[in-house]
Structure 1
Amino acid sequence: MAQRRALATYQSLREALGAFAMALCLALAGIGTASADNGASPGLQIEGGTSTQRDNIRNSINLARQPCDLPPFRERRVLRDTEQRAANALRAIGYYDPELALDFERDEDCWSIHITLEPGPPTTVEQVDIQITGAGIGDLGFEAVLSQTTIREGDTLRHDHYEALRNRMTRIAADRGYFDADLHTRRMEVDRDARTATIRLHMETGERYRMGRVHIEQEFLSDAFVQRMIPFEEGDPYSSAQIIALQRNLNDSGYFGGVRVRPEREAADGLNVPIRAELEPRKRHSYEAGIGYSTDIGPRVRLRYEHRYANQLGHRYQAEIEASPVRSGVGYNYEIPLRDPLRERLNLFTTYRTETTDTQESDRFQIGANRVLQRSGGWQTTEGLRYEYENYTAGDDSGRSRLLIPSYRISRMDADDPMTPRRGYRFETTVQGAQEAILSSTSFAQILASGKVVRGIGTGRVLARLEAGFTEVDSVHDLPTSLRFYAGGDASIRGYGYQRVGPRNEDGDVIGGRHKVVGSLEYDYPVVGNWSAAAFVDAGNVVNEWDEFDPVYGVGFGVRWRSPVGPIRVDLAHGPDSDDDFRIHFSMGPDL
């Protein structure tokens, strides 16, 4: 024991003396350990090989941590380390016998290493031996590994592809509930002389676990209601994708401010894995206030209140007030989740709106119900029935209407950004009508379709928009103004006033029409920061008979600012048939 302690003491003293001697030599030679003050750093030049080989070597060698004033006695060590790293980098992509020539070169500022590379012949994959045994035989996840592996016989060997395949098999086993899986054979066998390699991965999966009971920890909603958001049944094969889907469903429901879902493998009952969902409620009440402005309706104030869970069945309601010089109103909506609370709901609503423009006046009251269903593929359908009463005036045309209107709407939107997409579209079609014999003052049928597409071209974007409407009615005078078509304004044909395009009466007043087609083509391109410029052409018209259709045009340019609350647009437009030489249009809101 004493001899061992003496030896340890001797070795410590030897190391300390060696470090002191090194420091003394550096001090006497006037050599520091920091990089040169001129900001230079060591360089690396590589000649020969392919770009992939050179890049892999560069990614493996870091000379920046070495000082420019590297002591001469350390040059050999740095060269040896660089050569070893370069060889390992080539070996990782299948080149086991490269020829490397390294030169150490100094200049006034710093130094560099020059590598001349001859990679030699590659090592190729001779055999890929992947075997799955156990209950996982035939599982789609493992079948995909067998049929879609990134390693093929005849490929150049790559260590990263082998490691990725090995990790993929392990991950699939965990994701699909083979918790007892054993990757008992995992070898990459390389024959240096023959320059061939064999990949062997053999896995015994064991039994697949199943989804156990979901334990929901929350107190403000009915457990039966929350259970309807679970996308799987107890006893289904285990899948981490289903766990993620449950987490997403609970987050998307709008009821919870905090969601934590976790499987409890340690508490498994046989092969059944219980799942725990810990839920925190969102604030019960929500208040919103907003202001806006557009040249169509002027300044606008909006107040909104939402009660996010009115009872344990997940019912909620919203109330809203909007006021502007042109259009004002109040509305109330009561929402009842149906069989699938995430994709199906019943909205009971009532609204009152008054509108006064240069072309018409309207006071309208509505009450009705909508069944909203989120379908597969992103489509949403709305089946509605409403009763509405309206007092209206358009030119010298005044009246009162009472209509019971069934309707059907289908819509879809997809975008890579909710506010300013570079790629996206929106589509919507509504069919509605009324029958005079059923609680209505007139009969009509109407179809309205609209769509908008955004596509990036170069650094800019193209925005295309189209709206088309058709109405079957004995006379446009039988329709209230809210169901007539108008054109002109910020979101219609720029260069013309709001609702200033359409059929006119004998006094020249626009009174609206039965049919409408309006389109727009715009290109905007970035200028600086969040600012962009745009050029556009709008066209279309509103008519009572299709043979009267003669489009009017608006052209112009504008600026766009991507503000924190969404795009803000200012346009200067000219309409050849407009009463104004130019009109300024100001609007804000998402592009789709």
Structure 2
Amino acid sequence: MTAFHPPAGRLGPARRPLPVLILLLGLLPGLAQGEPSIRISDVGDEITDNIRAHMGLSREGCDLPEWRERPLLRAADREIRSALRALGHYEPRFTLDFQRNEACWSLQVDLEPGPPVRVRSLDLRVIGEAEQDPAFDELLQSPPIRPGDRLRHDRYEQIKSGLNRQATARGYLDARIATSQMRVDVQEQAADLVVHLESGPRYFLGPVTLEQDTFHDRLVRKFIPFEQGDVYDSRRLISMQQAFMNSGYFSDVRVDPRADEAEDLEVPIHITLTPRNKWSYLAGIGASTDKGPRVRLGVENHRANRAGHRYNAELEVSAVNTRVGIGYEIPLGDPARERINLTAGYQSESTDTSESDVYGLGIAHLRQLPSGWIQTRSLVFEREDFKVADVRDSTTLLMPGFQMSRVQADHPIFPRRGWRLNFSLRGASEELLSSISFAQATGRARYIMPLGEGRLLLRADAGTTSVQDFAKLPASIRFFAGGDNSVRGYGYQKLGPTNDDGDIIGGRHMASGSIEMDYPFADQWSVAVFADGGNAFNDLNEWNARYGIGAGVRWRSPIGPIRVDIAHPIDGDDNFRLHLTMGMDL
């Protein structure tokens, strides 16, 4: 790098001191100016914060003109009393000491809030048709403020707003607070509260009009979970709106109950549906230690026709496997909860333990049960050419399958509490177009719970296979262990039974588990420690669990969690192994 030196006898930037001096002089008043100071006696954060929120003087700067001092201080007296009354203190004693100096001003509030007023009685009633509605029981039996509690105006208001919200949600659209009284006896330091809700009649759900021209009207109406004449309940409307959005057909859904047009207590419902773009495209890159860098490309048509059919195609390529597939989806009775999926695809995988090429066709019926479980019945036809150790073979399988799964989480991407359960069965018979008979069951469980500021993550996986001639079982059906999502510290599919030459050939059964704790140390970042264990095996008395322990970091990236782990295999040949994974925790 070449340095520049001013010619001898000349000054560089310091040659022009006047503009710099003017700039500094302009900044000096701001540097000398202080900050306003309001100090309040140590009476607790709740009182202090409420006084500051009420006091207009707290929003003034150092440029407060003198002519405004007296009005603001008189207002401060009223504001402090109002802030204290809101928290039940009706007889406070305080003084205000306002001072000015050359830089700014300050206010000292010496305060004794006095004894709080307590609720002596609470007369809380619902009158009218809603009197027999159990939906109000919780509000009536467990209100936010009760006799014996310190009087708080905000909680009194919560009673009224809670009753109004519940009345509106349940269809009592003419409901009003008929009586609202707060009687405070300052001498007795007691308050008597009265809140009466007059519910009026309960309304009903009326005719539904649809504003959309993309799909057949009969398809869209299948999303509506009620009949005209059903009692009004806003939860049904919210559930319907969510079902429309979750369908993937629409980019915007507006549900407008028109209470002002109600006839015979029936509220007409107007629904405006804006379709999403017909086509969407997927292009992504990722990486994991198991499969290395990978590239995904995909395309989906969200409305192949007005009946709501759609199709997609996807290609994924990595160092270990290549997968290409197409799918066609047909909505059924309740399109939000039931559909038929038709699939066709090819997958090639080559690992240190096996090689396989799988060609498949499938049909699956998916249905979400009222309990929230998703039930899947499937029939898959596969041809697989595979090589495991020194055995090379081909199989043809017609496999009926059954699966149950459910997910519960407090956040779709970064949950602090949640769980996932999955149980599946599949099999084939030589009497039904298959070259081998087998039956297989698998189960997976994930659980996340808060642990202080961090989380505890538990994982369990198990599987079992019944087969007479294991040597003919294709590689994709066998169980292996080890890798990013199995027993960390070991390579991908590097654990399992071996043949006489020591080559890993996979097993009939598998069991593995993990316990992990993560703890945040910065925004979007956390550290984790974990222990994994498990293995694949052929007989229970031959099960030889392998264990790995380690630590890592987690980044809550915009595309989901990214994990970097270093694991030590307790019984392995490597001292440490790096694991990089991307994907959801559940």
AA matched with 1:494: R
Q: Contact 1:35–1:66 at 8 Å: present in 2 too? A: no
Report the alpha carbon displacement of residue 550 of structure 1 after superposing the two structures with TM.
Answer: 1.4
Partners in 2 of 1:203 and 1:110 — Cα distance? 51
Report the alpha carbon displacement of residue 535 of structure 1 after superposing the two structures with TM.
Answer: 3.7
Q: Contact 2:88–2:151 at 8 Å: present in 1 too? A: yes
Partners in 2 of 1:349 and 1:573 — Cα distance? 38
Partners in 2 of 1:328 and 1:271 — Cα distance? 60
Q: Report SS of the residue matched to 1:128.
A: strand
Q: Contact 1:476–1:544 at 8 Å: present in 2 too? A: no
Say whether residues 1:385 and 2:396 are aligned partners: no
> Which among 66, 89, 92 is matched to residue 86 of structure 2?
92
> Which among 23, 36, 44 is matched to residue 41 of structure 1?
36
Aligned ranges 1:215-254 → 2 under 5 Å = 215-254=209-248
> Which among 60, 64, 69 is matched to residue 58 of structure 2?
64
Q: Contact 1:518–1:541 at 8 Å: present in 2 too? A: yes
Report the alpha carbon displacement of residue 477 of structure 1 after superposing the two structures with TM.
Answer: 0.9
Partners in 2 of 1:439 and 1:95 — Cα distance? 83
> Which among 421, 437, 441 is matched to residue 443 of structure 1?
437
Change (3 A) 1:591 1:143: closer
Aligned to 1:399: 393
Partners in 1 of 2:99 and 2:237 — Cα distance? 58
501-510 or 143-152, larger mean C-alpha shift: 143-152
> Which among 272, 280, 283 is matched to residue 286 of structure 1?
280
Aligned length in residues: 558
Partners in 2 of 1:580 and 1:353 — Cα distance? 30
Who wins on radius of gyration, i.e. which is larger? 1
Aligned to 1:370: 364
> Which among 307, 323, 332 is matched to residue 313 of structure 1?
307
Aligned ranges 1:271-282 → 2 under 5 Å = 271-282=265-276
AA matched with 1:45: I
Report the alpha carbon displacement of residue 523 of structure 1 after superposing the two structures with TM.
Answer: 3.7
Structure 1 gap ranges (5+)? 1-33
Partners in 2 of 1:333 and 1:69 — Cα distance? 69
AA matched with 1:587: T
Aligned to 2:256: 262
Aligned ranges 1:166-181 → 2 under 5 Å = 166-181=160-175
Report the alpha carbon displacement of residue 527 of structure 1 after superposing the two structures with TM.
Answer: 4.9
Aligned to 1:466: 460
272-281 or 85-94, larger mean C-alpha shift: 85-94
Change (3 A) 1:368 1:265: same
Aligned ranges 1:114-513 → 2 under 5 Å = 114-513=108-507
Q: Give me the TM-score of the superposition, normalised by structure 1.
A: 0.86
Report the alpha carbon displacement of residue 59 of structure 1 after superposing the two structures with TM.
Answer: 3.0
Q: Report SS of the residue matched to 2:446.
A: strand
Q: Report SS of the residue matched to 2:360.
A: strand
AA matched with 2:37: P
Report the alpha carbon displacement of residue 515 of structure 1 after superposing the two structures with TM.
Answer: 1.2
Q: Contact 2:34–2:62 at 8 Å: present in 1 too? A: no
Aligned to 2:556: 562
Partners in 1 of 2:427 and 2:446 — Cα distance? 25
375-384 or 347-356, larger mean C-alpha shift: 375-384
Report the alpha carbon displacement of residue 540 of structure 1 after superposing the two structures with TM.
Answer: 1.9
Aligned to 1:16: none
Report the alpha carbon displacement of residue 459 of structure 1 after superposing the two structures with TM.
Answer: 4.5
Q: Contact 1:42–1:63 at 8 Å: present in 2 too? A: no
Change (3 A) 1:36 1:436: closer
Change (3 A) 1:118 1:553: closer
Partners in 1 of 2:527 and 2:188 — Cα distance? 63
Superposed CA deviations along residues 272-323 of structure 1, whole A, max 9, x for unmatched, are: 1111111111111222122223232233222222121222222222222222
Change (3 A) 1:247 1:116: same
Report the alpha carbon displacement of residue 146 of structure 1 after superposing the two structures with TM.
Answer: 2.8
Change (3 A) 1:108 1:213: same
343-352 or 218-227, larger mean C-alpha shift: 343-352
Report the alpha carbon displacement of residue 212 of structure 1 after superposing the two structures with TM.
Answer: 0.7
Q: Report SS of the residue matched to 1:482.
A: coil
Q: Contact 1:42–1:67 at 8 Å: present in 2 too? A: no
AA matched with 1:46: S
Aligned CA RMSD, in angstroms, stands at 2.8
Superposed CA deviations along residues 115-149 of structure 1, whole A, max 9, x for unmatched, are: 34344444333433334333333123444433232
Superposed CA deviations along residues 336-362 of structure 1, whole A, max 9, x for unmatched, are: 222221112121222222222222221
Partners in 1 of 2:129 and 2:410 — Cα distance? 40
Q: Contact 1:446–1:470 at 8 Å: present in 2 too? A: yes
541-550 or 566-575, larger mean C-alpha shift: 566-575
Superposed CA deviations along residues 140-170 of structure 1, whole A, max 9, x for unmatched, are: 3444433232333343333222222223333
Report the alpha carbon displacement of residue 251 of structure 1 after superposing the two structures with TM.
Answer: 1.1
Superposed CA deviations along residues 424-483 of structure 1, whole A, max 9, x for unmatched, are: 333222122223333222222212122233344345444332221111112321311111
Aligned to 1:517: 511
Q: Report SS of the residue matched to 1:517.
A: strand
414-423 or 363-372, larger mean C-alpha shift: 414-423
> Which among 517, 523, 530 is matched to residue 536 of structure 1?
530
259-268 or 199-208, larger mean C-alpha shift: 199-208
Partners in 1 of 2:492 and 2:59 — Cα distance? 67
Report the alpha carbon displacement of residue 229 of structure 1 after superposing the two structures with TM.
Answer: 0.7
Q: Contact 2:326–2:344 at 8 Å: present in 1 too? A: yes
Q: Contact 2:55–2:79 at 8 Å: present in 1 too? A: yes
Change (3 A) 1:155 1:357: closer
Aligned to 1:24: none
Q: Report SS of the residue matched to 2:75.
A: helix
Q: Contact 1:36–1:68 at 8 Å: present in 2 too? A: no
AA matched with 1:44: R
Q: Contact 2:89–2:114 at 8 Å: present in 1 too? A: yes
375-384 or 546-555, larger mean C-alpha shift: 375-384
Q: Report SS of the residue matched to 1:40.
A: coil
Partners in 2 of 1:450 and 1:511 — Cα distance? 23
Q: Contact 1:243–1:262 at 8 Å: present in 2 too? A: no
Change (3 A) 1:82 1:380: same
Change (3 A) 1:94 1:231: same
Q: Give me the TM-score of the superposition, normalised by structure 2.
A: 0.87
Partners in 1 of 2:452 and 2:252 — Cα distance? 41
Q: Contact 1:560–1:568 at 8 Å: present in 2 too? A: yes
Report the alpha carbon displacement of residue 52 of structure 1 after superposing the two structures with TM.
Answer: 4.0
AA matched with 1:421: P
Structure 2 gap ranges (5+)? 1-28
AA matched with 1:199: L
Change (3 A) 1:99 1:331: same
477-486 or 550-559, larger mean C-alpha shift: 550-559
Aligned to 1:3: none
Report the alpha carbon displacement of residue 328 of structure 1 after superposing the two structures with TM.
Answer: 1.5
Report the alpha carbon displacement of residue 234 of structure 1 after superposing the two structures with TM.
Answer: 0.8
Partners in 2 of 1:571 and 1:253 — Cα distance? 37
Partners in 2 of 1:153 and 1:567 — Cα distance? 48
Report the alpha carbon displacement of residue 230 of structure 1 after superposing the two structures with TM.
Answer: 1.0
Q: Contact 1:36–1:69 at 8 Å: present in 2 too? A: no
